[in-house]
Structure formats: C-alpha cells, structure tokens
Amino acid sequence: MSAAAVVGFAQSPVRVREDATTSGVEMLVPIFAEVFRACGLTKSDIGFWCSGSSDYLAGRAFSFVSAVDAIGAVPPAMESHVEMDAAWALYEAWVKVLTGEAEIALAYGFGKSSGAELRRVLALQLDPYLLAPLWPDSVSVAALQARRGLEAGRWTEKDMAEVAARSRAAARSNPDAQVSGSVSAAELLARPYVAEPLRAHDCAPVGDGAAVVIIAAADRARELCERPAWISGFAHQVDSGSLGARDLLSVPSAAGAASAAGAGGVEVAPIELAELHAPFSHQELLLREALGLGDGVTVNPSGGALCGNPMFAAGLARIGLAARAVMSGRASRALGHATSGPALQQNLVCVLSGEAS
Amino acid sequence: MSHPTAPLRAPLEIEFDYTRSLGPVLSQFMAALAERRILGARGADGRVHAPPFEYDPVSAEPPGELVPVGPEGTVVSWSWMPEPLDGQPLAEPFAWALIRLDGADTAMLHAVDAGSAAAMRTGLRVRPRWAERPAGSIRDIVCFEPGDGPPDGSAPGHAGEVTPGMTITPVRLHYMHTASPGESAYLRGLAEGRLLGQRCGVCGQVYVPTRGTCPADGVTMTEEVELPESGTVTTFCVVNVAYPGQRVTPPYVAAAVLLDGADIAFQHLVLGCDASEVRMGMRVRAVWGESGSISHFTPTGEPDALYESYARCM
C-alpha cells in the first residue's frame, strides 16, 4: 500500500546567478512560497524538513545552516541535511513519513554551481588517497566512460549528439531550462571537443538553482492534492568508489535501485515517462538500459540535466517533474531518477503512480 | 562597473592540507611507490586489483600479501585534457587514462604525457614516470608516458618529508564569493560608518547585520533600520588560548553585543578594560577601525543594563 505521495513541487529557473549567495536563500524563498501556495500549506504544517547541498560548492563549512533562514525556523523545526543531491533528502523525508514521525515533509536542494570551477571542485568527491590528489575533473572522468562505450560499440558520437539535440528541443517548452533550442545532431558534431570524446553539448551546463518537493502521508495527501503522485517504490544503491575497478558500461546500482523500487513490475502498468538525471549525454543511454526503459517511454520531456543541472537540486527536480506529470494526469506511472558521484556511481529511483496501490 | 546596490562580490581563496592516515593496505602501496614499485591485491575471485583494495569487494576480507604489478601497463580508456586545471599532474595538455597495469585485472586512473591526442589510443603501452623525490603519495608517479620497457631513470632520490602511514593532500579552491543583498547593504553601511539592520514585516524583530531574510518567518525583509553604536554585553567568554595568527594577546573577551534597538546580538571583541572586568549587562560602544569596520567594542562607563532588558535575547 502506498503510504505517501508527492503533493507539491517547485523549482527555480536554472541560470548562472552572479548575484546569488551560496546559501541558496534567495533562490529558496520564492519557491517555498510557490509550493506552499499551490498546496494551501504554511511552514507550520511541515513536520520534517530535509535539505541537500554541499559545503564544497559554497566554499564554507556548515553552509546549509544559512539556508535554514529560508525555512523561518521559529519555533524550532525538525530539520536534517544530506551532503548529496536533495533526492536523497527526499528519501530521508519519505522514511520519516513512513515511520509516522511526520505527516507532511518537505525536501529541498540548492546549489550555486557557478561559484567555483565546478568540474574541478567535483574532483574532491573522489577517493581521497588515490584519485583526488590528481584532481581528475568530473568532465574528464565522464569522458573516460564515454570512450569505453564508443569503443565497445555501445553508442556513437552521433547517438550522443542526438540525445543532446532531442533534449534541447524538449526544453523549448520548459521555461526553467538553462539551455534549449532547435539544433541538429550534425550541427552539434561539427563543434570542437572540450574533453575528447565529449563536446560541450554532451555535458550538462553549469547552472545555479533550487528545487523543493512536499510529500504527505496517505490521508493528508488526498486532502492536499486532487491527484497525488503516490510513491510506489523508492530505492537507492551505490557502486564501488574504486573507479578503475568498475565496469563503466554497466550501472548495477541504477538497475538494482530500479528493481528494488519495482520500476519493472509486470503486475502494474508500465512506466510511461521518466525523468533521468544524466549529466552527460552517453549516461542517458546507459540509464535507459539499466532502468529497462523501452522505446515507448517518454524520457526527459523537460530537457533533462543536459539542459539544466543545478548541483544538489537537479536530482530532486527530476522526481518533482515526474510527480508533476502524474499530478497533472499526463502520466499514470512515472519514474524519477537521481545520480551522484563520478560516472553514475550512485543512483536513486522513485516510482510514482496516479493510483494508490 | 558594479551598480551601487548590486551584491558585493570578491574572490575567495581557500587552502587547506588534508593529512590522512593511510591504513595498513595503502601504507604498503605508498611505501612501495617510494621505492618505484606498484602493488596490487589479489581478491577471493583471483582477480588482481591495482591499486589494491582495502577490503575485498567479493569476500569483504582484507587482502593477503600484496603482489607486484606493472609498472608498465595498457591504456583501456582515455580522454584528452586540452587546458589542464590547477593541481592536475601536468601543466601541458595531457590525457587522462584508465591504465591496466601488467598483471592486474582492474585499472588505475592517472595522466599520460602523450604530447597530443593523436598520439593516444586505447591499447597504448605506457610506463610510469617517477617523481625524483618521493613524498608518500599517489603523486610519486608524476604521470605515465608512452613506452614499453622499464622506465628510464636512476634510483629514487632521497625521500622528501615522508611520514610512514600518512599522506598529505594540499587542497586549493578558488571561489567568487557573493554576499547576499542584506550582507552587502551592511558592509556598505560599515564603510560609511553606519550600522544597518532590518526589521521583519511579519514579526517586527530587528536583525543586525542585515541578512535579507527573517530567520523566524522565512520572508524577505525590506525595511532598513540604522542602529546606534552603543549596546549591551549579553554574554561573553574570556579567550585564554593562543593560536597562530591571533591579533589580540590573550586573555581577551569575545562577547555577544546587543545593539540598542536590535533584537539579536552579534559577536565582537570587548577591549579597553581588563578581561576580568567584563560582565553581563555591561554597556559598550563601537570603536571604529580604519577600513570601514568596527575594530572592537569598549566600555562606556554607564551603569549596567538590567538583566530583564536583554534576557529575551540570550
């Protein structure tokens, strides 16, 4: 039985915001107001808050504490934080609701990705003994994975460009996207490499943003939302931190999370729509396969992370967008995915349904 | 040219050295690197991991005796770095590569000094270029270079400052830090010798420094309030510990100062009297420094404030 559902979602437009602080407050205050208005809630209705953000993006310790200003935490709020994409904060919130500790919970994520050279900062998420001292940047690490697939015949540079072209075309109807437009794969392939074999279109743009999702226990969900997006499965798994020991062409943690979340369950309706957190074009191809998404599934109608990837918020936004598709009736069963770590090391899957099972 | 009300921005450089203990497996690995040898670990499934695992991914057991691998190896994937970033192994364009060392079943990530992308290919044979002075880190391998035979070069030079079992990783990060609109207003006020706060439109509390958003209500604050430079010590501590870079000689007082008219105290130094004279309720005023900032607070000599007048701000 589905014990909890997504009832609200909001995100800030993904942009490079020179004037934004790394505390995220300016990005969070408007989207909290938006989601509360949509759900008819106030901050005092929230029984548990959980955020996802990173001190490494902010350049200071305990940076998430400043973001609590956006909550308005007087009287004191039950609050937690993960140094991960806020999709994992939502997982913690979901557990709070399942265990009855909160009826309504809110997860939010924010990242000022542009505060420093992102691809370099992300080197510090790697093994601190054998990898981080070399400063392997995130784009170069993803490029090693892309080449493995190219040389194994799993995809071509044209396949990768087509993912980018399709994403940008889809993003034309998404005002929150940072990148969008009509461009052919052939045009994209004529552009130079940034980290051979990756070109700029293969890599998510660096952008700042925030996202918020509200979930509620069954009874409250029905009151708050005409058509709640019931969470029928929610799971996350991780692959080895030893980059060179992984088979970079399989994503066992994504497949495992999808299986644990019941994404492929035959007893229920198939997934109709998936929002995948693939910060590099070839990773969408890997994830489609790992998650068992066939050609009939609409993937990333928002444009996906290739058109806007605010660090620590983009994964939560994928779940929020998938939930919105269910809440609006555009899909009866949808999947939201989030990733973290180098080359799809860690993966989370949330399956959402229009029917409480 | 920045607009006068635009948030203030400035470069923020952060540097710190992580000193990490290596543990039993990586201690052996790094000690071997200093002797220009590379070690791997044989797993329960017979596969050799290089670099070695600390716990077998199959059996979860620590490895037995480590086994020598390489030092030559074969590139299994690579990418090209046309503009190397600060801290990376080489300053000139180079390849990142996953390298399967001879005798190993897993790959090691490192740089290859290939000169050009055209010289790189999967299957390329490479060998390590050793650091002249080992330091007990993965960077005792400077990079790999194309070649299939024993590396050139003499025996290792004298070790640098190697502490067995430890490795030091320097970290340098460069940010462009942006102050919030509230913080920016406060800093601009200081430069003019004014102390600025904000009043929340919902709860009416006055916050100083200006912070943009009411932490109690989560709403944007727009009403600016100029505060006097006098206030009350609500609580304090005496700093007795000396530390590098300290600007005041201990003992001295760090206090929470509640400016008159504010609803939240902020932390500052109280100087100008013996540390033992500072007390809760003591009246103080700001002493301005030279560059648009408050140097410290100092006693005014007024009678102490009644506890009831600041108790709610403790």
pLDDT in tens, A66-106: 888 888 888 889 999 999 999 999 999 999 999 999 999 99
* DSSP helix, strand, coil percent of chain A (3-state; round to 5): 40, 20, 40
Q: A311 to chain B, minimum CA–CA distance in Å?
A: 16
- Greater confidence (B154 vs A311) lies with A311
pLDDT band of residue A268 (cuts 50, 70, 90) is low
Residues B300 and B282 grouped into a single domain: yes
CB proximity under 8 Å: B 61-100 to A: 76-82, 85-89, 96-98
Q: Tell me: the pLDDT tens digits for B100-114?
A: 999 999 999 999 999
**Which of the listed residues B172, B198, B223 is the one where a domain comes to its end?**
B172
Cα four-point dihedral sign A287, A291, A293, A297:
negative
Highest averaged pLDDT of the listed ranges A58-62, A71-75, A159-163, B208-212: A159-163
Question: Is any Cβ of chain A less than 8 angstroms from the Cβ of B181?
Answer: yes
Smallest Cβ distance to A196: which of B7, B88, B117?
B117
Question: What is the CB neighbour count within 10 angstroms for residue A257?
Answer: 26
Residues B198 and B279 grouped into a single domain: yes
Residues B142 and B197 grouped into a single domain: no
Three-state secondary structure call for residue A298: strand
Instruction: Report if residue A144 sits inside a domain.
Output: no
**Which of the listed residues B121, B150, B172 is the one where a domain comes to its end?**
B172
Residues B216 and B158 grouped into a single domain: no
Query: What is residue A51's DSSP assignment?
Result: E
pLDDT band of residue B6 (cuts 50, 70, 90) is confident
Q: Tell me: the pLDDT tens digits for A115-132?
A: 999 999 999 999 999 999
Q: B156 to chain A, minimum CA–CA distance in Å?
A: 21
Residues B154 and B196 grouped into a single domain: no
Instruction: Report if residue B68 sits inside a domain.
Output: yes
Q: In degrees, to the nearest 5, what angle opens at C-alpha A234 toward C-alphas A283 and A15? A: 50
Lowest-confidence segment of A337-341, B157-161, B205-209, B254-258 by average pLDDT: B157-161
Q: What domain range is B228 assigned to?
A: 179-313
pLDDT band of residue A266 (cuts 50, 70, 90) is very low
Instruction: Report if residue B5 sits inside a domain.
Output: no
Instruction: Report if residue B2 sits inside a domain.
Output: no
| Interchain CB contacts (distance < 8 Å): A and B | 170
Whether the predicted pLDDT of B262 surpasses 80: yes
CATH number of residue A49's parent domain: 3.40.47.10
End-to-end CA distance of chain B: 42
Cβ separation A124–B171 shorter than 8 A? yes
Q: What is the pLDDT of residue A124?
A: 95
Q: Region A140-165: what's the mean pLDDT?
A: 98
pLDDT band of residue A21 (cuts 50, 70, 90) is confident
Cβ separation A115–B178 shorter than 8 A? yes
Q: Give ipTM to 2 decimals.
A: 0.94
- Contact list, A135 vs chain B (CB under 8 Å): 85-88
Smallest Cβ distance to A148: which of B20, B77, B180?
B77
Cβ separation A245–B107 shorter than 8 A? yes
Q: In degrees, to the nearest 5, what angle opens at C-alpha B79 toward C-alphas B78 and B84? A: 130
Smallest Cβ distance to B77: which of A22, A115, A147?
A147
pLDDT band of residue B32 (cuts 50, 70, 90) is very high
Is B175 within 8 Å of B188 (Cβ atoms)?
no
Instruction: Report if residue A256 sits inside a domain.
Output: no
Is A155 within 8 Å of A171 (Cβ atoms)?
no
Residues B24 and B152 grouped into a single domain: yes
Helix H or strand E encompassing A37? helix A25-39
Strand order in the sheet with A79-82: A79-82, A48-52, A104-112, A208-217, A4-11, A229-238, A346-353, A333-340, A273-275, A298-299
Which residue is listed with tokens 């030893």?
A: A242
Q: What is the pLDDT of residue B247?
A: 87
Nearest CA in chain B to A197: B79
Residues B158 and B257 grouped into a single domain: no
Instruction: Report if residue A191 sits inside a domain.
Output: no
Q: Region A151-174: what's the mean pLDDT?
A: 98
**Which of the listed residues B139, B172, B205 is the one where a domain comes to its end?**
B172
Residues B157 and B183 grouped into a single domain: no
pLDDT band of residue A15 (cuts 50, 70, 90) is very high
Instruction: Report if residue A12 sits inside a domain.
Output: yes
Mutant choice from B90, B175, B183 vs A, greatest count of A C-beta within 10 A: B175
Q: What is the pLDDT of residue B314?
A: 81
Q: Region A317-343: what's the mean pLDDT?
A: 97
- Token duo for residue A192: 């130079």
Residues B230 and B155 grouped into a single domain: no
Instruction: Report if residue A177 sits inside a domain.
Output: no
Instruction: Report if residue A314 sits inside a domain.
Output: no
Q: What domain range is A28 assigned to?
A: 4-117+206-229
Lowest-confidence segment of A187-191, B60-64, B111-115 by average pLDDT: B60-64
Three-state secondary structure call for residue A97: helix
Q: What is the pLDDT of residue B3?
A: 47
Query: What is residue A263's DSSP assignment?
Result: T
Whether the predicted pLDDT of A285 surpasses 90: yes
- Contact list, B18 vs chain A (CB under 8 Å): 128
Instruction: Report if residue B230 sits inside a domain.
Output: yes
CA distance B300 to B257: 13
- Per the structure, the count of domains in chain B is 2
CA distance B10 to B154: 47
- Contact list, B213 vs chain A (CB under 8 Å): 25, 29, 69-70
Q: Tell me: the pLDDT tens digits for B152-197?
A: 655 655 556 677 888 888 999 999 999 888 889 999 999 999 999 9
Question: Is any Cβ of chain A less than 8 angstroms from the Cβ of B213?
Answer: yes
Which residue is listed with tokens 């093994």?
A: A127
Residues B164 and B254 grouped into a single domain: no
What is the percent of chain A with per-residue pLDDT over 90, rounded to a whole number?
87
Instruction: Report if residue B3 sits inside a domain.
Output: no
Whether the predicted pLDDT of A264 surpasses 80: no
Whether the predicted pLDDT of B1 surpasses 60: no
Q: What is the pLDDT of residue A356?
A: 83
Q: What is the pLDDT of residue B148?
A: 83
Which residue is listed with tokens 């007048």?
A: B309
Instruction: Report if residue A246 sits inside a domain.
Output: no
Q: Region B129-152: what's the mean pLDDT?
A: 89
Cβ separation B18–A68 shorter than 8 A? no
Per-chain mean pLDDT for chain B: 91
- Per the structure, the count of domains in chain A is 1
Instruction: Report if residue A210 sits inside a domain.
Output: yes
Specify which residues B63 forms β-bridges with. Answer: none
Question: Is any Cβ of chain B less than 8 angstroms from the Cβ of A71?
Answer: yes
Per-chain mean pLDDT for chain A: 94
Q: Tell me: the pLDDT tens digits for A40-72?
A: 999 999 999 999 999 999 888 888 888 888 888
Q: What is the pLDDT of residue A22?
A: 83
Question: Is any Cβ of chain A less than 8 angstroms from the Cβ of B173?
Answer: yes
Instruction: Report if residue B19 sits inside a domain.
Output: yes
Residues B143 and B206 grouped into a single domain: no
- Contact list, A120 vs chain B (CB under 8 Å): 85-87, 173
Residues B248 and B213 grouped into a single domain: yes
